[in-house]
Structure 1
């Protein structure tokens, strides 16, 4: 029974969200305007929001009070998202999937304003790097709202519509696992976060670039396995060194965003790579990202390998498709990617385990790795106290067989 029919049967009438309308006094008060903007962003009432936007931009110009009120609401809601664990790249990725280019630019400017209000040494290095990668800088002088609207060639009405949509997204963002120190908060410890050294990263990136460019799946997977071997060797050296450290870096969290379609199959591939590199992963399907928990250098490895393997798996799926009607269906491609992820995960895990077994002192190393794994499991349980196992429904045996065969053709002997 539909909602309207249920209301008729029970005698209840639908009550729309109340329109956000401001009187003359409120339109001159930035604080009340900020409250109205936040309320409009929180409502699911397109018609009411339209009337509110028309009221703020009715003259075709954004008044000084409206400009100040909008910027006040924007700063508050961005700070709310930051407090909920959203990093600059996470905000960008979520907005890229749900907003237009104008709103995305507005959000980037908001992040620049947020950083500008803090001392440079009060901003986590990951925050700084991600903001720099996004080009988030304070490029304007004076009030931001009219400068941004002029730069984007937006009317006052169009600008306000984009702002409300941006703030609506910020209000709907869920709380995330706390992966980094919040900007402005006391930094953890005095030493910078440890990452994989640039020499090792350069070698791994070179192998993965070759894997992505070759037309031969067997060569691609051999190169990927070699990259896994290098990262495992680096992790072994790091674990042995950290055994003498007074307090190792705590595990943290990083998000890997996935593009549609087949996000569940792609999430499985990320999970397989995470497990091969001593990390834990969880898929947030509603937003399309995987959160990976582990030590920072291991997260670097997962990020590099998973991103490359997603490219390789998609290319292999397309290039090795049989000339059949089923091979062009969504069911086939989803089954292919799922089988590919499962088999490649097994082979990466085997490559990592072989590297550990052939290390100079595996008897010393294995207890240290077990301690490391326990720290990661404990951090994962803290971030995600309740989890739910989710299966993947497959409807193409042909796709599964083809994906498994494509993965099995790889020669993973180490070079």
Structure 2
């Protein structure tokens, strides 16, 4: 490592102001390449500590600013170019990071040419060096977390598959229609059909795995749970995960939940949660507009109560749909029941091994009856009793610090 880079990093890691290190870097353009290589090494270290691209970008976006996100995206692109094979979920994460429409861009350091679709970060040398040091400080301090997949470049990574299973394509199309419609009964019918297909797909995969003895084991993935109203969003994700035979553990410190389950169920959970969140936020916006038109000013408690009710009621609906599908399937094929029970036990065991210590998170009761009623209506066109708090969701689990 060059003397300039080493001194600059030492000053920041030693607790000094970033001004000293940024001044050193700004005055020495010859140190730029070494500075970039050190950033890519920090990115690789993040992978080795269990982090994935979307996790790190989410944290940087939350704790720093857009220039830091674009600098990080450039480092991630440079570091991952070295690998012929990537873990299954990484290409989608990298594509989202690289898409300027997603709000992240893929910046490069000042003066570096950006690739197609990339949005370079341009600033004076001192501002650029300051942003780099702030980013590197965050990366260097990332703790080790439970990994949810292999590292990029691992020898045992499977070859990428062309496209996705036909059933997931159908589910994705149904959910896209549900998001696009402004007619609630239609959205409910489309979402229910999507969940029915997910349950059927899960059962078909379980039967196939049993017949072929292919030795499937539960996996895990991380799904972002962003502020605001992250508690209600985590509850919604937990409800979707449970309905799809998965377990969800919320890690509120870093803004994500870890979902554990078999691969088809993980894919279905991620698809459905993303769609239901879009539908819920749209319904909440419409409900607020109606309230304002009636002369009533809505507050944060309205939105919180709306989303809690939405998550709670949808959890009931999805669980019912899954039970019906399982009942019909096991009635036709009695030998399926122990297969499903064994998979449920395997998921629970994997979750317990990953998170041997969890704590319950107490959820603030819903206090806005209008919010609760509108949220329940958005989930199922149903109404609640006057005591909305009586329907408050149960506390969720999260890792113990």
TM range (shorter): 0.7 to 0.9
Given candidates 335, 338, 344, the residue that maps to 1:373 is 344
Alignment equivalent of 1:160, drawn from 114, 129, 151: 129
Alignment partners' CA distance in 2, 1:385 and 1:145: 45
| Among candidates 316, 327, 342, match of residue 357 of structure 1 | 327
Partner Cα distance (1:325, 1:376) in 2: 49
What aligned pairs does 1:10-409 form with structure 2 within 5 A after superposition?
Answer: 30-42=1-13, 45=16, 48-58=17-27, 62-64=28-30, 66-118=31-83, 120-121=84-85, 123-135=86-98, 146-147=111-112, 151-187=120-156, 197-321=164-288, 323=291, 328-359=298-329, 361-398=332-369, 399-409=371-381
The superposition leaves residues 39-81 of structure 1 with CA deviations (integer Å, 9 ceiling, x where unpaired) of 4454555xx21122113213xxx332x2244134313211211
Higher mean displacement: 225-234 or 85-94: 85-94
Whether the aligned pair in 2 keeps the contact of 1:37 and 1:70 (CA below 8 Å) is: no
User: How far 1:247 moved relative to its partner?
Assistant: 4.2
Counterpart CA distance in 2 for 1:395 and 1:347 is: 20
Compute the displacement of 1:156 (Å). 1.4
2:326, 2:161 → 1: CA distance? 21
- Cα distance change, pair 54–221 in 1 and its aligned pair in 2 (3 A): same
Equivalents in 2 of 1:382, 1:320: separation in Å? Answer: 42
Q: Quick one: distance in 1 between partners of 2:273 and 2:14? A: 38
Moved more, 332-341 or 268-277: 332-341
CA deviation map 1:267-315 (0-9, x unaligned):
1001100000011111121222111111121111011100010111122
Give TM-score, length-normalised by structure 1: 0.80
Distance in 2 between the 1:43 and 1:224 partners?
53
Q: In structure 2, what is the Cα distance between the partners aligned to 1:329 and 1:105?
A: 34
CA RMSD of superposed structures (Å)? 2.9
| Residues 111 and 122 in structure 2, CA contact (< 8 A), matched pair in contact too | no
Aligned equivalents of 1:253, 1:35: Cα separation in 2:
38
- Say if 1:400 and 1:105 are closer, same or farther in 2 by CA, change over 3 A: same
Inter-CA distance 174–226: structure 2 relative to 1 (3 Å threshold): farther
From the superposition, tell whether residues 328 and 185 of structure 1 become closer, same or farther in structure 2 (CA, over 3 Å): same
Question: How far apart, CA to CA, are the structure 2 residues paired with 1:254 and 1:387?
Answer: 18
Q: Distance in 2 between matches of 1:194 and 1:277?
A: 23
When residues 152 and 293 of structure 1 are mapped into structure 2, their CA distance, relative to the original with a 3 A threshold, is same
Instruction: Work out whether residues 38 and 73 of structure 1, in 8 Å CA contact, stay in contact via their aligned partners in 2.
Output: no
What residue number does 2:399 align with? none
Give the SS at the match of 2:89: helix
Distance 1:49 1:206 in 2: 49
Distance 1:381 1:51, change over 3 A: same
1:375 Cα deviation (Å)?
Answer: 1.1
Describe the SS at the equivalent of 1:392: coil
Contact 1:124 1:187 in 2 (8 A): no
Judged with a 3 Å threshold, the aligned counterparts in structure 2 of structure 1 residues 192 and 152 are, in CA distance, closer, same or farther, namely closer
Alpha-carbon spacing, 1:253–1:194, altered in 2? closer, same or farther (3 Å): farther
